[in-house]
């Protein structure tokens, strides 16, 4: 936006990522005080002028989801009341993304509710990564730029010089994601058919669809939460003759029994991004983290300059083997 300064602010969701993004943009992190009242209410103070400026607020709505979501809403409201010219919410991980539809009577569509809250608070634009479901895009009545992480993950995988590779979707719903990942690598895909009784609980793997025998399998997914899907998928693949199994996942939520499951699992490695802050106690030997800061930084720069963001991920795919 011509004549307007680019400013980046952050809440408590992932300040390390926000600082990396600012370093890539060569701008200082915005000055803001975040505190709590005695009863736990969020208190925000913007410590520099944002009047007429192009403001980006980086905050993943990761666990504790409600805390980080309310922080984001309050920061946006403060920016609006301080007369920022445009406010872009940069949400690397979009919490409530798995509640994108009604699966039974009397259920909310929480993703839509969150979209409404962000818009009402004063958000002018959304920048996010790897939404769990494509229809969430349509929940917003403001512009949304969606960055897939597959370019970063595929680039990392290529550096490993994999041979005899097969890309695996851990469920039917992730087939398109696996197909796009495989197209960049020129690799075949396989799909795991599983049964889930309730959220975060996988009952059993029913079928592995695809020729996986004596191949190196790479499971690709958007979220690793309790890691039940990942570990059961790895076990099922090894039973069907896979040589080794690794996984590439964008959002490392890693809640509940995730770490113990991963430690005991046959997964060789889990590669994740830093869309969700990973504290030291969760950085076990099997987990390797790739930074999305350069990608987010370039997307922010392009939004600020009113240039295309989609050019960042319009890459040529490789032919898949028959």
Looking at the annotation, which residues are catalytic? 194
Question: Of the candidates 321, 319, 301, 320, which has an alpha carbon nearest to the alpha carbon of residue 311?
Answer: 301
* Residue 266 CB coordination number (10 Å): 13
Point out which residues pair with 126 in neighbouring strands.
89, 144
Q: What is the 3-state secondary structure (H, E, C) of 30-64?
A: CCEEEEECCCCCEEEEECCCCCCCEEEEECCCCCC
CB of 49 closer than 8 Å to CB of 95: no
Q: Can you name the residues that pair with 33 across neighbouring β-strands?
A: 45
d(CA 228, CA 205): 11
Q: Tell me how far CA of residue 154 lies from CA of 27, 42, 89, 145, 170, in angstroms.
A: 29, 39, 27, 21, 17
β-strand partners of 36: 42
Name which of 218, 169, 213 is nearest 192 in CA terms: 169
- DSSP three-state, residue 2: coil
The three-state secondary structure class of 217 is: strand
């Amino acid at each position: 936006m011509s004549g307007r300064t680019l400013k980046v602010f952050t809440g408590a969701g992932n300040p390390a990522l926000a600082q990396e993004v600012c370093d890539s943009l060569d701008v200082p992190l915005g000055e803001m005080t975040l505190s709590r009242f005695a009863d736990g209410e969020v208190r925000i103070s913007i410590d520099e002028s944002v009047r007429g400026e192009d403001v980006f607020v980086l905050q993943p709505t990761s666990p504790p989801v409600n805390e980080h979501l309310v922080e984001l809403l309050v920061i946006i409201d403060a920016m609006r009341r301080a007369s920022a010219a445009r406010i872009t919410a940069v949400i690397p991980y979009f919490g409530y993304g798995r509640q994108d539809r009604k699966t039974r009577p009397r259920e909310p569509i929480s993703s839509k509710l969150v979209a409404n809250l962000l818009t009402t608070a004063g958000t002018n634009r959304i920048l996010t990564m790897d939404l769990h479901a494509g229809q969430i895009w349509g929940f917003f009545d403001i512009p949304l730029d969606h960055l897939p992480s597959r370019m970063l993950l595929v680039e990392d995988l290529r550096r490993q010089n994999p041979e005899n590779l097969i890309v695996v979707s851990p469920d039917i719903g992730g087939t398109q994601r696996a197909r796009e990942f495989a197209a960049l690598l020129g690799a075949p895909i396989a799909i795991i058919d599983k049964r889930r009784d309730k959220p975060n609980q996988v009952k059993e793997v029913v079928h592995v669809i695809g020729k996986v025998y004596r191949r190196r399998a790479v499971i690709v997914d958007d979220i690793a939460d309790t890691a039940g899907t990942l570990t059961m998928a790895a076990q099922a693949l090894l039973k069907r003759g896979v040589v080794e199994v690794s996984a590439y996942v964008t959002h490392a939520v890693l809640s509940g029994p995730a770490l113990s499951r991963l430690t005991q699992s046959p997964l060789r490695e889990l590669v994740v991004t830093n869309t969700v802050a990973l504290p030291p106690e969760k950085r076990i030997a099997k987990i390797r983290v790739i930074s999305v800061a350069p990608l987010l930084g370039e997307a922010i720069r392009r939004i600020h300059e009113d240039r295309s963001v989609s050019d960042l991920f319009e890459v040529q795919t490789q032919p898949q083997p028959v």
